[in-house]
Amino acid sequence: MLRRQVTQCLFSHRRMSIKTDFPDKWRTVPYQRIAYGYKPSDEDPLHLIPDEDIAPFVIEALDFIDSGGSYREAAGWLTQMTGKKISHQGICNIWKERRGETTGAKRVKRQKDQVKKFAPKTALEKKKAAIRRKAADAKRVVAMQKKKLQSLEGTNHTDVTGETNGTPVTDSLDFDAAPKEAEVIFKPNKGPQTEFLAASEREVLYGGSAGSGKSYALLADPMRYFGNKNFTGLILRRTTDELRELIWKSHELYPKAYKGAKWQERKSQWVFPSGAKLWFTYVDRDEDVLRYQGQAFSYIAFDELTQHPTPFVFDYLRSRLRTTDPDLPIFMRATTNPGSSGHSWVKRMFIDPAPAGRAFDATDINTGEVLTYPESHPKAGQALFQRRFIPAKLYDNPYLAEDGQYEANLLSLPEHQRRQLLEGDWSIAEGAKFSEFRTSTHTCEPFDIPPDWRRFRSCDYGYSSWSAVHWFAIDPSYETLYVYRELYVSKHTGRDLALAVLDVEREENDKVDYGVLDSSCWHKRGQIGPSIAEEMIMAGCRWRPSDRTAGARISGANRLHELLKVDPVTEKAGIIFFETCRQIIAELPLLPMDPKGTDDIDPRSPNDHCYDSIRYGIMSRPKAFSLFDMADNKPEYRYRPADIRFGY
């Protein structure tokens, strides 16, 4: 009784569907076979009408097939629910008759396309296919005979009690579960590898220590676009031999993820069923970029970017990055370890402009200025695109770091190579003067400087080259120096620089106790007018001269070595730079030693402006007032010029 009520309810809800899927039929003779889901009319045995007990379940099975379900699962469910057996081929025929030309048109077309695509083409393939068909037919005959034998022995393969091979059949079809869960071919590691695959910036560098999973990430990144026929990708190494490992790894991924993907050995490229292509090739010399002239790619990736000594190849191939498909984004990706011949320019392009992991507007690696649209462009002043550096360590790859063997190999390397390949340290360089500098130790995220901390600034002036200004704060607890702000500009006169400094301090409501300026700014070089320092002081920006006596440079270098040491008690260095001071963080670790063997840096180094500014500041004998001093006895912060006439 309950089943009839449920059936009537389902029938009332699907009355319109029944009229569509179950039109009335007529038999020529009374003993002709009755179609599945029909019954003879009481008035006329030749007139077939929908069976109210079966038709609603057939309609639900057809809906299930429309959503992507299998014929066999639908047939088994119908047999169990109606008590009337139907084969998978039977429900397939009903679906093609009732739905195949309407809602199922796309499914039928897709099935035909798949059959056509994978149909044998050559004589050998056709012969193999014929043998496979015969083997399948023989297997089918054996299965049918086993069913007959089971039926005679009373152990039916399928009965109407709801059991099929001992597996219970559910009361309803799960439409959400129709598409079966696919095998997981690649799952990114948590952390940097996942961030790299999810990055939306135009250009991203994924780099750091060896063994961090960079190569697999580079192969997996373009896979999301292999279903687009307009996708054309390019993966590059310096030489063809270096591509070998990448190609081997790609054979482990791509054929499993995309059935029908073919590797074309002569062209060194993957071709996918959609028509997408991924080319593995090389760029050894700068002239090799002409091989790609006139071609267009929506995805370009470099493995081991620092092996290219100049940015020419990377910059040129950016011009090949284009697509006319609005659904296909364009990306440039790169992976690398620190070191090699291209370490310097890669560091300036991806590492120096912003802290690791943060997106930033793309900059010119020579001037540091943000790349923007020209004034005549509708987007005038806006950044062209963004870049990002995502660091990775060996410990981010649990498959390689778990047993510790590879880590032991890296630990056995000399310090220079160990810091690059194990720690992923970009601040190390051959012959560096301040090799003890560590980004993890000597930098910190910006924080609000307490108002009672003493502050001062330093400056190394240059017009044709660069002017560097740095602001210091002294932690009175440990006398630690914090460099919390940086100004790095060129083509500024003394007055222009003074006004820029005052503007920054006015905006930040910053009150400094004193400033130290390169003493050469007081020198009179044949003119009778005011010096550079006097112009700055007259503009309201007060300074005192730095120490330029004999031996001052060596003393300053030794003092900086002392401040870079980590105190064993506080576990903090004597000087710490805010992460926003990008130029000094980029410049300091790469300063070379003097080839003559002195304790100074190489005097020929062109990038010593920030270093000189820091040296002037730390040699000004900065001292914080004790926290234990009474407020009434604490000296007042005010400027006292040594010379009232000139103001310094």
**pLDDT tens column, 179-212:** 555 577 788 888 888 999 999 999 999 988 888 8
When pLDDT is cut at 50, 70 and 90, the band that residue 107 belongs to is low
> Do 449 and 521 sit in the same domain of this protein?
yes
Residues 6+ apart with CB under 8 A from 71: 65, 88, 89, 91, 92, 95
User: Which is nearest to 37 in space by CA: 59, 6, 15?
Assistant: 59
CA distance 78 to 271: 42
CA distance 564 to 600: 16
> Do 164 and 248 sit in the same domain of this protein?
no
Report long-range pairs for 440-446 (Cβ below 8 Å, ≥24 apart).
441/566, 441/573, 442/564, 442/573, 442/575, 442/576, 442/577, 443/576, 443/577, 443/578, 443/579, 443/585, 444/482, 444/576, 444/577, 444/578, 444/579, 445/355, 445/578, 445/579, 446/484, 446/578, 446/579, 446/580
Q: What is the mean pLDDT of the chain?
A: 83
pLDDT digits (tens, 9 = 90+) for 410-447: 888 887 788 888 888 887 776 778 888 888 899 999 99
Q: What is the mean pLDDT of residues 60-74?
A: 83
Higher pLDDT, 581 or 101: 581
**At residue 533, what is the residue type?**
A
Q: What is the mean pLDDT of residues 312-340?
A: 91
The structure's pTM equals: 0.57
Q: What is the mean pLDDT of residues 301-320?
A: 91
Residue 10 three-state SS: helix
What's the per-residue H, E or C state across 176-200?
CCCCCCCCCCCCCCCCHHHHHHHCC
Strand partners, 163: 168
> Do 155 and 224 sit in the same domain of this protein?
no
Q: Is the residue at 647 inside a domain? A: no
Q: Tokens standing for 231? A: 């996708």
> Do 175 and 196 sit in the same domain of this protein?
no
pLDDT digits (tens, 9 = 90+) for 239-256: 888 888 899 999 989 998
Strand partners, 205: 334, 389
Report phi then psi at 527, rounded to 5: -100, 160
> Do 177 and 205 sit in the same domain of this protein?
no
The residue out of 181, 205, 228 marking a domain boundary is 181
Place of tokens 């900059």: 363
For the cut 90, the answer to whether the pLDDT of residue 54 exceeds it is: no
Distances (CA, A) of 639 to 412, 509, 635: 55, 17, 12
CA distance 252 to 632: 75
Q: Tokens standing for 97? A: 């008759």
Distances (CA, A) of 69 to 66, 169, 520: 7, 15, 83
Place of tokens 């005011």: 530
Q: Is the residue at 626 inside a domain? A: no
CATH number at residue 521: 3.30.420.280
For the cut 90, the answer to whether the pLDDT of residue 32 exceeds it is: no
Q: What is the mean pLDDT of residues 217-238?
A: 92
Place of tokens 């003119």: 527
> Do 395 and 458 sit in the same domain of this protein?
no
For the cut 80, the answer to whether the pLDDT of residue 644 exceeds it is: no
Distances (CA, A) of 168 to 78, 85, 174, 622, 625: 13, 16, 14, 82, 82
For the cut 80, the answer to whether the pLDDT of residue 353 exceeds it is: yes
Distances (CA, A) of 638 to 291, 474, 489, 542, 596: 66, 17, 28, 12, 44
The residue out of 148, 181, 214 marking a domain boundary is 181
Q: Tokens standing for 596? A: 């003559």
Spatial contact of 47 and 40, defined as CB atoms under 8 Å apart: yes
For the cut 90, the answer to whether the pLDDT of residue 125 exceeds it is: no
Q: Tokens standing for 368? A: 């540091």
> Do 216 and 351 sit in the same domain of this protein?
yes
| Confidence (pLDDT) at 206 | 93
In terms of residue numbers, what domain contains 137?
1-181
**Distance between the two ends of the chain, CA-based, in angstroms?**
106
CATH number at residue 210: 3.40.50.300
Dihedral sign computed on CA atoms, order 183, 188, 190, 195:
negative
Structural domain tally of the chain?
Answer: 3
Q: Tokens standing for 222? A: 């373009």
> Do 411 and 448 sit in the same domain of this protein?
no
When pLDDT is cut at 50, 70 and 90, the band that residue 165 belongs to is very low
| Confidence (pLDDT) at 616 | 95
Burial 373-412 (b: 16+ CB within 10 A, else e): eeeeeeeeeeeeebbbbbbbbbebbeebbeeeebbeebee
Task: Among 335-344, 409-418, 421-430, 489-498, name the one with the lowest average pLDDT.
Answer: 421-430
Report phi then psi at 239, rounded to 5: -130, 165
Q: Is the residue at 591 inside a domain? A: yes
Report long-range pairs for 473-478 (Cβ below 8 Å, ≥24 apart).
473/449, 474/622, 474/623, 474/624, 475/624, 476/452, 476/624, 476/625, 476/626, 476/627, 477/627, 478/567, 478/570, 478/572
What value, to the nearest 5°, has the Cα angle with vertex 365 and ends 361 and 371? 40
Other Cβ atoms within 10 Å of 50 Cβ, number = 22
When pLDDT is cut at 50, 70 and 90, the band that residue 524 belongs to is low
CA distance 405 to 135: 49
For the cut 60, the answer to whether the pLDDT of residue 176 exceeds it is: no
Q: What is the mean pLDDT of residues 250-274?
A: 91
When pLDDT is cut at 50, 70 and 90, the band that residue 448 belongs to is very high
CA distance 304 to 348: 16
| Confidence (pLDDT) at 626 | 45
Q: Is the residue at 629 inside a domain? A: no
For the cut 70, the answer to whether the pLDDT of residue 163 exceeds it is: no
Q: Is the residue at 508 inside a domain? A: yes
CA distance 211 to 413: 15
Spatial contact of 10 and 2, defined as CB atoms under 8 Å apart: no
For the cut 60, the answer to whether the pLDDT of residue 544 exceeds it is: yes
Q: Is the residue at 153 inside a domain? A: yes
**At residue 151, what is the residue type?**
S
> Do 176 and 197 sit in the same domain of this protein?
no
The string of DSSP letters for 26-52 reads: E-SSTTSPPPTTEEE-SS-TTEEEE-T
Higher pLDDT, 487 or 155: 487
Q: What percentage of residues in the chain have a pLDDT greater than 90?
A: 36
When pLDDT is cut at 50, 70 and 90, the band that residue 168 belongs to is very low
Report phi then psi at 264, rounded to 5: -100, 105
CA distance 279 to 282: 10
Give Dmax over CA atoms of the chain in angstroms. Answer: 127
> Do 417 and 561 sit in the same domain of this protein?
no
Place of tokens 């710490």: 576
> Do 68 and 171 sit in the same domain of this protein?
yes
pLDDT digits (tens, 9 = 90+) for 574-616: 999 999 998 899 888 888 888 888 888 888 787 889 999 999 9
Q: Is the residue at 216 inside a domain? A: yes
When pLDDT is cut at 50, 70 and 90, the band that residue 160 belongs to is very low
CA distance 5 to 269: 62
Q: Is the residue at 186 inside a domain? A: no
Say how many CA atoms lie within 13 Å of 470 toward its Cβ: 30
> Do 457 and 567 sit in the same domain of this protein?
yes
The residue out of 156, 181, 206 marking a domain boundary is 181
User: Which is nearest to 448 in space by CA: 513, 360, 508?
Assistant: 508
Spatial contact of 39 and 48, defined as CB atoms under 8 Å apart: yes
CA distance 72 to 177: 15
Other Cβ atoms within 10 Å of 362 Cβ, number = 19
Q: Tokens standing for 167? A: 């597996």
pLDDT digits (tens, 9 = 90+) for 620-634: 988 876 444 445 555
| Confidence (pLDDT) at 525 | 64
Provide Rg for the chain, Cα atoms: 38
